[in-house]
Structures are given as C-alpha cells and as structure tokens.
C-alpha cells in the first residue's frame, strides 16, 4: 500500500514536471524574436535566370527590413519538384520560403510534386514578368507572321525551360491558335535558353522580359512579339500576340510562399517585410527595367495567396487540355 502511495506521488511529480516543461517551451516559442536567423529562399532554376535575379533583388532591401540575412538557394530538378521536396523537409517555422512561378503550379497539377496546392501559403507577390517571342538578331525571320509561315513549312526548334513549363504551355497554345507545329527543346533556365538562341542552337525562344532585356537592348536578340494583351510601357514598339490575331498570353508571375503549418503571425511578418522591401526604389527600378511597376506587381499575403489558387485552377485546365500529364 505504501509502495503504491509512493508510486502515485512519483507519478504526480512527473506529470507536473512535464506540464512545467511544456509551459516553458510554449513561453520560449512565444518570446522568440522572429526572424532571428537566416531566411532561405529556394529557387527551382539555375543561378542567373529570371527567378534567381528577382529573388536577389527582393532580398536587397527586405533583409534590411527584417534585419536578418537572406540566402538564395537553388534546388533544381523536376520543374520545381526538387525544391518542393527540400521545402517539405524543413521545419515550418518561416525560415524557408519557396520562390514560386506557374511552373510550380503545373508540376503540382501534373501530380509530379510531393506537395498539393493546399500545402502552399502565399506570402507576397514580386512581379508579373511577360514572355517575349524572341529570335537571334541574325535570323532571316523578322516578325510573328514570318515565324508562323516558316513553321507551317517546317517545325522550328523552340527553347523552353522544361517540358510542361509555363512557356511550353504558352507555346502550345500559340501553335494551336496559329495552326503550326513546333519542336520544344528543354533547358534548365531562361538564361540557358537565351544563350542557346544566341549561339544558333535553336530557332526561337520564349524568355521573360527580365531574362532577355540586356540582349534585346544590345541588339544580340530581337523580340518580335510579347505574349500579352497590351504593350509594355518599357517596350512600346514590340507588338502583342493579341494585335497579331492570337488571343494567347503568357507570363511568369513570381512570388514567395511557405508551407501550411507555418505560424500565422510569422507569415504576416514575412509578408509585411517583403512588401516593404519590394516597395523600395531599388526593386522598383528593377521592375521598371522590364516595363513593370511596383503598384502593378507587388502584393501581400491575401492577394497573392488567392491568386495562387486561381492560377492553379488554370494550370489544371491547361494540363488536362494539352495532355501534359
């Protein structure tokens, strides 16, 4: 009986210790300053492409706002699948952010990711980067009409970042609308696509404005159309696909997300910090170089999270219609 009584007292002490321990952990979590350590920004492309450049421009002022370092890390493979895998392996504590484009949404829609759309929580949107239809400056083709005509005689080789990517689907939609065939040649980034076009390895490509800006400005490449419903203010002489009779648009919307389960107050801190950082003239000048503005591009958690879900619905429809499963 005495032994049983001792056991009961010991059990009570152990339970009390556990409760106190949990309370201590809870208080530590509540009192912990966030952020207080390096924030990893995971991109799915090679360094030097549009996604990488945008992420680095975002961090320039945001790291000052949040008062921590921010490190851009590349996890290539599977059009975002490897980046998703890495993010899933990290604690849901706000210290790992995914740099998202539509390519990620297409990968999820095709069932090629460990993540589902509901696993992602949008933090902030950085930009909407339209796609140019671009040729080597030495090409005998000089317009979208020339491309369509040449493609009906013999399929041209087009550079895309990966098969089933944003620009690949945009190309497929344009080809369907214009009635021509094509050959898609995959690369790992927009930067590699541009280099291949410059070397003559492919006939045409679909880089984002930010990826081809320098080569277009120095005359190495020529943009014959922008896949948009309206001309870009920074490139007023480049016609749109809509003007040419093809109601097809294509752009890379770039933004940042964390995984579901990240504390809401941390998501808000990140969102507020990113929006403030990207509202600075440093990022604004970067956007302006692509004919974009802060007002049109930068948005916080609520707007970006809703847009992600809307864009995902479009991705599912495109994947099913074009057979990119």
pLDDT at 9: 56
Q: Say yes or no: domain 132-226 is CATH 3.40.190.10.
A: yes
Answer for the pair 313, 323: CB distance below 8 angstroms, yes or no: no
What are the strands, taking DSSP E only, across 33-191? 39-43, 70-74, 96-100, 120-130, 132-136, 156-160, 182-186
Whether the Cβ atoms of residue 33 and residue 65 lie closer than 8 Å to each other: no
Query: pLDDT digit string (tens) for 131-153?
Result: 999 999 999 999 999 999 999 99
Q: Determine the average pLDDT of the residues in 166-172.
A: 88
Four-CA torsion 99, 53, 59, 70, nearest 10 degrees: 70
pLDDT of residue 5: 53
Domains 39-129+252-322 and 132-226 share a fold: yes
| pLDDT recorded at residue 72 | 98
Across the chain, mean pLDDT equals 88
Say what the pLDDT of residue 7 is.
Answer: 46
Residue 11 pLDDT class (50, 70, 90 cuts): low
CATH number (3.30.1330.100, 3.40.30.10, 3.40.1740.10, 3.40.190.150) of 39-129+252-322 reads: 3.40.190.150
d(CA 241, CA 227): 5
Domain boundaries, the chain: 39-129+252-322, 132-226
pLDDT of residue 210: 76
């Amino acid at each position: 009986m005495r032994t049983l009584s001792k056991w009961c007292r010991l059990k009570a002490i152990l339970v009390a210790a556990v409760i106190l321990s949990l309370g201590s952990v809870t208080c530590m979590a509540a009192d912990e300053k966030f952020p207080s350590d390096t924030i990893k920004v995971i991109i799915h492309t090679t360094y030097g492409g549009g996604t990488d450049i945008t992420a680095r421009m975002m961090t320039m002022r945001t790291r000052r706002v949040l008062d921590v370092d921010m490190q851009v890390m590349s996890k290539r493979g599977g059009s975002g699948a490897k980046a998703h895998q890495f993010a899933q392996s990290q604690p849901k504590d706000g210290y790992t952010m995914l740099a998202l484009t539509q390519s990620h949404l297409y990968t999820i829609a095709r069932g090629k990711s460990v993540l589902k759309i509901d696993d992602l929580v949008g933090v902030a949107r950085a930009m909407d980067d339209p796609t140019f239809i671009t040729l080597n400056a030495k090409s005998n083709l000089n317009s979208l009409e020339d491309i369509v005509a040449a493609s009906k005689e013999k399929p041209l080789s087009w550079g895309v970042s990966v098969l089933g990517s944003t620009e690949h689907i945009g190309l497929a939609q344009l080809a369907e609308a214009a009635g021509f065939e094509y050959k898609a040649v995959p690369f790992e980034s927009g930067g590699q696509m541009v280099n291949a076009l410059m070397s003559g390895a492919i006939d045409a490509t679909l880089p984002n404005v930010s990826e081809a800006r320098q080569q277009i400005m120095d005359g190495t490449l020529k943009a014959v159309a922008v896949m948009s419903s309206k001309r870009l203010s920074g490139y007023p002489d480049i016609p749109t696909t809509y003007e040419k009779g093809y109601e097809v648009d294509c752009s890379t919307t770039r933004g940042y997300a964390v995984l579901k389960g990240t504390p809401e107050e941390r998501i808000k801190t990140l969102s507020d910090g990113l929006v403030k950082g990207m509202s600075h003239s440093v990022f604004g000048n970067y956007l302006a170089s692509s004919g974009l503005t802060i007002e049109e591009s930068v948005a916080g958690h609520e707007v970006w999270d809703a847009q992600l879900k809307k864009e995902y619905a479009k991705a599912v429809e495109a994947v099913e219609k074009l057979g990119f499963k």
